[in-house]
Amino acid sequence: MNIQELASHLKLSVSTVSKAINGRPDVNPNTRQRVLEAAAQFGFTADAAARRLRTQTSDLIAFVLSAPQAHFAHPFFLNMLMGIDEKLEHSRYQLVVSSARSAEHEMQVLKRLVEVQKVDGVLFGRTRRYDDRIAYLLERKVPFVAFGRSETPGEFAYLDIDHTVVSREGCARCVTLGHRRIGLVNAPDTLMFSCHQRLGYEAALRAAGIPFDAKLYVEANITEEGGLAAARQMLETDDPPTAIISGHDLVAIGIYRAITERGLVPGRDIAVIGGDDHPFGTLLSPALTTFSAETLHAGKRMSEMLLAQLEGVPVRELQEVWSPELILRSSDGSPRLTTVPKDPALAGG
């Protein structure tokens, strides 16, 4: 049975049958199911190779993870990848996952995916203030959805979690608890979300009448080691913080360690607030106050946005910013110490 005979049997148009078989989103789910069941009953199989040749498509979508953001074992990106894969499972597209060893290597990876593997669309992680990936994909007219906004010229589809809210509301929470010395461990300023996070932090300080202190603002890698080094630096100042905010729970682990090195207790002696609700946050002692991230849902939504773009939806209709919610646990408390020990050897219990 060919597609015309299948369509005639179902009393549907050939285009509707074709869309249903190829996983197009603009087909009623019940109709799609009826078409697929009939196709299985009569042994009809679409010639995917012929369709790809006819339409000049590859049926491939790439998800690119670049250094030095994280690695595949990082829960943030694993959850996002699971969401992407779950959504694409019911489409005609296959997911290709690639990683880059360095920022220099990532453009080579991207160009290979676009120019050699001829992927139909691209999904990628945290954006930079100026992002070569965005500029390249816009120039090549390759559909893509970025996780984050950017100052790069051009209009593109994106989904972003508003880190202005993380730092602003986190800082405001600390002010409400009575803190006046509030530190921020931020990611490198080249990342767009880091820029937003600093803006939110500075806005909260201004609203509380607290002057910005450069000694309480430290940029660090998004790792435990980065959080440890940054917190040590803050705690060695003449007037150290009584509260420290981080946009990432992974960084907060390092902050915890820097606090405990001084014989102090996170949450009791120095408040700590994370930023992206990692599973291990509830296992820390004390459990980490943080913000929601919804990365599984974000992966699904990014896939939906890319599929819509491939169907011709304008990118200006595919731009979303989600506001995270504060998750209260036990690591944020009122100021307890008048003096924070700078030398771990002199710290008390």
Rounded distance between C-alpha atoms, residue 246 and residue 236, angstroms: 18
What is the edge-to-edge ordering of all strands in the sheet holding 243-246? Answer: 217-219, 182-186, 243-246, 271-273
Mean residue pLDDT of the chain comes to 89
**Mean pLDDT over residues 233-255, rounded?**
95
Rounded distance between C-alpha atoms, residue 69 and residue 67, angstroms: 5
Tens of pLDDT, residues 280-327: 899 999 999 999 988 999 999 999 999 999 989 999 999 999 999 999
Q: Residue 245: what are its φ and ψ, rounded to 5°?
A: -110, 145
Domain ranges of the chain: 55-159+295-325, 163-289+328-346
CATH number for the domain running over 163-289+328-346: 3.40.50.2300
Q: What is the pLDDT of residue 52?
A: 45
Kindly report the pTM of this predicted structure.
0.80
Q: What is the pLDDT of residue 204?
A: 98
CATH number for the domain running over 55-159+295-325: 3.40.50.2300
Taken in order 233, 234, 236, 238, is the CA torsion positive or negative?
positive
126 C-beta neighbours (distance < 10 Å), count: 21
Locate all alpha helices (DSSP H) within 128-286, ordered by sequence.
Answer: 132-140, 163-176, 192-207, 224-235, 249-261
Q: What is the pLDDT of residue 151?
A: 97
Q: Would the CATH topology of 55-159+295-325 be identical to that of 163-289+328-346? A: yes
